[in-house]
Amino acid sequence: MLLVFVYGTLLRGEPNHELLSRSRFLCEARTDPCYTLVDMGAFPAMIPQGSTSVVGEVFEVTVEVLEALDELEGHPDWYTRTTITLGNGMSVDTYLRDPAKFDGRPVIPSGNWRDKRGHRE
């Protein structure tokens, strides 16, 4: 069983969710408060530094879906697929951006991509 935590355009109802449409949705979840969610324009990036709990969803995926997600996310050059432990104790893979590539983009203080329009810093 491969578990993936998504927090941006792969969420249900978002533009890239089609890649997960045949995967099993398990739950909504939050990370521990040790990340920063950055607004990259049309999509977010989660940085492995900070004090924010990022909001997302967990899906059970096949190897083929994971490979498609890796391609979409530009793993390992743009994002790096990394195993993290969520606030609920689940161990999942997610996609993190190197803090050195943060580029001074606006932070989403709520940690929720869907809140980005009204809550930019």
List the single range of 12-21, 29-38, 81-90, 102-111 with lowest mean pLDDT. Answer: 102-111
Q: Is position 76 within any domain?
A: yes
Q: Is position 6 within any domain?
A: yes
**What CATH number does residue 94 fall under?**
3.10.490.10
Q: Is position 121 within any domain?
A: no
- Residues designated catalytic: 73
Q: State the average pLDDT over residues 72-79.
A: 96
The domain tally of the chain equals 1
Tell whether pTM > 0.85. Answer: yes
In angstroms, rounded to a whole number, what is the distance separating the alpha carbons of residues 63 and 75?
15
What tens digit of pLDDT does each residue of 24-58 get? 999 999 999 999 999 999 999 999 999 999 999 99
Cβ pair 30, 54 in contact under 8 A: yes
Task: Identify the band that residue 120 occupies on the pLDDT scale cut at 50, 70 and 90.
Answer: very low
Q: What is the mean pLDDT of the chain?
A: 93
